[in-house]
Amino acid sequence: MIDFLGDVLAQRIPTVSQGEQHDFRWEWLAEGVLSFTPKQAYEKAIVLSAGVHGNETAPIELLAQLSQDIFAGVLQLKVKLILILGNPVAIRSGQRYVENDMNRMFCGAHQQFSETFEAKRVAELEQLVADFFQSCPAQVKRYHYDLHTAIRLSLLPTFALFPYQTHGYDAVMLACLSAAELDALVYHNAAGRTFTHYTSSRFQAASSTLELGHAKPFGQNDLSAFSAINQVLRSVVTEQALPARQKSAIKNFRVVDSIIKTEDDFQLNLADSAPNFSMFQSDAVIALQQGKPYVIAPEQVWILFPNTQVKKGLRAGLILTELRS
């Protein structure tokens, strides 16, 4: 049995890197990367990742518990599965990232950062995920759930983001996100450089980035607050029925603009502590640069991930409109 999180925190290489247990084979592929293959036929190949941002610890703990329960036989694995803790160095140091944000470096963007640790890690993860999906029979359906927690509080506390795609959105994933009691779904309007955009665009996986509450250090998470997504992940890997949704219907939003910081004097027209999904009325000034209005709300809109502290050239927020049924 592998101590999935303990090995990462201790920077320890397991003495045994593969084996068979219960009805599956397992393999330690790299630091923080562990694969499981059921001995019987399977219909789904699933990537579960967390810790792409090292200080977002609750999802890391969920995946650690999941791996323990698979090894212990508590969960009967029915899918091919790879578990990924994205940024081990940042996880050990309790930082979001060490040099550069990994979740802006996929789809080949890591090549711009040459010899940095995060660039090498992204290249490694891209190759490991490619090998994982390509080892599956052609008819196997591919999925990727990338688990995060948000830097700031949110008026809609839990939500998922779909990478931009031209084909339809997978019904099974939509059902899973609904059962996980998420408050909102956000649909991107343009190609990105996130981990989920990589798996979606390269392998046509049904992919989503999940934001599951507020980032806290190890030992400070109340994992009972994550019980809905935890139950869904366990249903996903065991092919069990999903729990029934208890909340009102999920809200749906579409990204209509990305705010890019290009000047040192960049400002957002809201408090530093403003939560995700803060709203702007039509014609309101959202951002200023060089002392002039830079982004003006075309209609009633919401802002997601506002952050004036990003490096120049990076996204300082997403502008959303609500999709009404």
Give the per-residue pLDDT at 110: 82
| Domain 256-323 falls under CATH 3.30.70.1350 | no
Sign of the C-alpha dihedral, residues 294, 315, 161, 44? positive
* CATH number for region 4-238: 3.40.630.10
Catalytic-role residue among 118, 126, 181, 211 = 211
Give the per-residue pLDDT at 250: 95
Give 217's pLDDT tier (boundaries 50, 70, 90): confident
Q: Which residue has the higher pLDDT, 321 or 310?
A: 321
217, 57 contact by CB (below 8 A): yes
Q: How far apart are the first and last CA of the chain?
A: 48
Q: How far apart are CA 236 and CA 239, in angstroms?
A: 5
CB contact set of 259 (below 8 Å; sequence gap of 6+): 268, 286, 287, 294, 295, 315, 316, 317, 318, 319
Taking only the tens place, the pLDDT of each residue in 71-130 is 999 999 999 999 999 999 999 999 999 998 999 889 887 877 777 889 999 999 999 999
Q: Which residue spans of the chain are classified as CATH 2.40.50.630? A: 256-323
Q: How far apart are CA 104 and CA 116, in angstroms?
A: 14
Sign of the C-alpha dihedral, residues 7, 44, 59, 203? positive
CB contact set of 271 (below 8 Å; sequence gap of 6+): none
Binding-site residue positions for Zn(2+): 53, 56, 148
Q: Which residue spans of the chain are classified as CATH 3.40.630.10? A: 4-238
Give the per-residue pLDDT at 103: 92
Q: Is the pLDDT of residue 312 over 90?
A: no
Q: How far apart are CA 49 and CA 129, in angstroms?
A: 11
Neighbours of 29 (CB within 10 A): 19
The amino acid sitting at 75 is: L
Task: Say what the pTM is.
Answer: 0.95
What are the backbone dihedrals phi and psi of residue 278, each rounded to the nearest 5 degrees, phi first? -65, 145
What value does the mean pLDDT of the chain take? 93
Give the per-residue pLDDT at 313: 85
Q: How far apart are CA 33 and CA 82, in angstroms?
A: 7
Give 220's pLDDT tier (boundaries 50, 70, 90): confident
Maximum CA extent, the chain: 64
Q: Is 239 considered catalytic here?
A: no
Give the per-residue pLDDT at 311: 83
Binding-site residue positions: 53, 56, 148
Give the per-residue pLDDT at 316: 92
**Residue percentage of the chain with pLDDT more than 90:** 79
Q: Which residue has the tokens 């040099």?
A: 99
